[in-house]
Structure 1
Amino acid sequence: MNTVLLNTDVSSDGLLQYAYDNFASVFSENILEYAFAYAEIPRDQITKKQREAAQSLLKLHEIDRLRYYLERDIPEEEWDPDFLRWYEKKGVLGEIILHMILKEFKNTIPLISKMYFKDSFSQEAKGFDAVHVSQDGQTLWLGETKFYKAWKTNGVIKGGIDELVGDLKKHITKDYLTEQYVIIKRGLEAQLEHPQRAVWIEKLSKPVLLKDVFQYICIPLLCIYEDNIALDYLKAVDDAIKDADIVTHTTTLRDYYNSINTFPYRERVQTVLILMPIEAKKKLVKCMIEKIWHMQSI
């Protein structure tokens, strides 16, 4: 289990605040790879491909109103709640964050273009939110992510973690993995540049035997949610004060995850629950949307 904290910086008025803009910049730098994986892109085509990637991953909603909000740098608190909520529900934002975390902290590389993976499914079918492999080619990372407003409902732990466990039970089955492997392999066959292409095409071509699959897959489960615990902890770090609240918080969620995880293969499948508490979902979503809007306009 891991907890990822968004860093803080000093604002122009000297106050400590989340570094949303910095995070959104790194977010935007990962959009091209998230969309196209290992496609070779000529230097003179990079700008065009960045625009295509941004346009393919999110259809911007009510563009004139969005432009009004962003060009005037209107605080997210003053946006129409229903308008902003439309973007908050878009799973692709969480998927790109998961892509970033796996690359930065687990040293993985994407296996196939996520855009191909998404376009290969019918409306009711849903694939993994991330399809990565380890640098040594030994592990296939099949990720799931939930981007939530809060992690408690009426004081009870509920929401993202419950749904992640539900996805775990639903997706790690022989039938589902067989279906996904066919689609992943088809996408990989078109990516001639991938350094592990031949290895994984061969591995994914074999009949799915769960006893074999369990030896080489890892399931990262990313839950992003609002909680002031992260900011409180980072303030304590900046002040060089030892603070154990983040440890208690993380332990509470870990124990809850373990208590509800009745996934039948829990002793065989390697899973990593990744928690990412943030101060305000709306602020982060606004920053990410702004980056996508600029990329679609270049």
Structure 2
Amino acid sequence: MEATIEVNGLRKSFGRAVALDGMSFTVKPGQVTGFAGPNGAGKSTTMRVILGLDSVEAGTALVGGRPYRSLRRPLLHLGALLDAAALQPSRSARGHLLWLAHSQDLGARRVDEVIRLVGLEKAARRKAGGFSLGMRQRLGIASALLGDPPVLMLDEPFNGLDPEGIVWMRGFLKSLAREGRAVLVSSHLMSELRDTADHLVVIGRGKVVADTSVSELLEAASRGRVLLRTAEREQAMPLLAREGATVTATGPDTLTIAGLPSERIVHLLGRAAVPFSEVSAHHATLEEAYMELTRDAVEFRGATGEKAA
């Protein structure tokens, strides 16, 4: 039970706005769990509740079977990064970590270990207020690792990282999971979750809309869909739609088709003399699967295809 986060039936409102509406999921050891959802879906609120920073009207959030607030030395149980800017800018990176370490009865040796782990040796004695966002993210990760906790919870850890930092972060998170830790990572970047997460919890409007492995989610999103490549997209789309297919343009010469088998598509196109170069099984991307799941949960949606006034 030690390396887990258990969220069960969380309900919370801010005035008339419902932030969490029965939120329930479990973060298990030995894997990276991605936590995704549109803006306003409840990700940050859920993380704050797990840390005891926000109260709820109903439900529980447990770390290793216990409320976070009941933990005497909490950084030894759960390491969290919610806001990389939450530091005293006049302190050095090492000073910031020493201050946190002393609060948990940890020594300077552990501070130097985590500085090395995140690659901040050359900047350790610089004032943190002058750090770039990417360097602050690394310092936040170091803070989360101070207590060598079995559980880690990171909110948007890829923000501000350069390409080298992103590659490092992917491998680092995977290595933490391989050690048997439970790792919860919130991100808007589906490409990073695709390359990092083993499991995915997708939420919308305060509820869980998917709780499954990344591979199972992609398989479900791909099932029964056909990829059509044709230079005559405008002819193919209405032709297939009249036969009951759902046709989506996914590129200048590609369509994704649901509701018709590939053999029927080939027959219809051939009979109408519509040229095509490929008909194959569609393999959905994680972004496509995510957009489909959260289509009805997006609160803020920009205009498309319209000229600015």
What band does the TM-score fall into relative to the shorter chain?
under 0.3
Considering fraction of residues, name the structure with more strand: 2
| TM-score of the two chains, using structure 2 as the length reference | 0.23
Bigger Rg, structure 1 or 2: 2
| Greater length-normalized contact order (CA 8 Å, ≥ 6 residues apart) | 1
